[in-house]
Amino acid sequence: MSIAQHGLKYKFYIGDGNSRVYSRIKQRFPYGREVIKVECANHTVKNYRNHLHKISKNLLFPIPARRLPESRIVRLKYGARKAIESAGESTESRAVVQLKQDIRNGPYHVFGCHENCREQYCKNKGTTDENFLPSMKEPGTMEAI
């Protein structure tokens, strides 16, 4: 289709980790070589933010989860971006594991629990400040976030 319409072959696909889109590209554009997927931090963080907004509008979640103020969503998005930037383009398994831990810890940090924060990100490491975590522990809330 791309060859017939535009006279070109795709070499790279830039995306956010959505494997469904990538699998469709691989099926629809079989050139005899693989289209290379490039993960884009912008797409990933945008997708993360959109999911947080969906949670805040979903009536199936308890009120504390739906009252995620925009400032908390911005902080979660900013934290995810910083974690991705610090991991860089490393595919080393240790860096990948650390990135997962940092992303998973983001909501705990933003809601006031700093037990698992890394010192390079958090000046409140090991403390608990204005802790919103108890209200977020409603069934399924933190898992969704």
- Is 86 inside a domain boundary? yes
Decide if 64 contacts 142 (C-beta within 8 A).
no
Domain carrying residue 15: 9-38
The 10s digit of each residue's pLDDT in 113-130 is 888 888 877 888 766 666
Residue 77, Cβ neighbours under 10 Å: how many? 18
Nearest to 141 by CA among 114, 117, 108: 108
1 found inside a domain: no
pLDDT for res 81: 86
Q: At a CB cut-off of 8 Å and minimum separation 6, what does 81 contact?
A: 41, 45
Buried b vs exposed e over 43-76: b needs ≥16 C-beta within 10 Å? ebbebbbeebeebbeeeebeeebeebeeebbebb
- Whether 3 is in a domain gets the answer no
- Are 31 and 95 part of one and the same domain? no
Same domain, 31 and 100: no
Structure tokens belonging to residue 26:
């691989």
Q: Do residues 74 and 131 share a domain?
A: yes
Query: Model's pTM, two decimal places?
Result: 0.63
Contacts of 63 (CB under 8 A, 6+ apart): none
17-66 pLDDT per residue, tens? 666 777 777 777 766 667 777 777 787 888 888 888 888 788 887 776 67
Q: Under 8 Å CB-to-CB from 79, ≥6 apart: which residues?
A: 102, 106, 109, 110, 121
**pLDDT score for 27:** 77
Residues 22 and 49 grouped into a single domain: no
Distance CA 84, CA 104 (A): 12
pLDDT tens per residue, range 62-116: 776 677 777 788 888 888 888 888 777 666 777 878 888 888 888 888 888 888 8
Q: Domain tally for the chain?
A: 2
Beta bridge partners, 38, equal 14
Q: Mapping DSSP to helix (H, G, I), strand (E, B) and coil, where does residue 125 land? A: coil
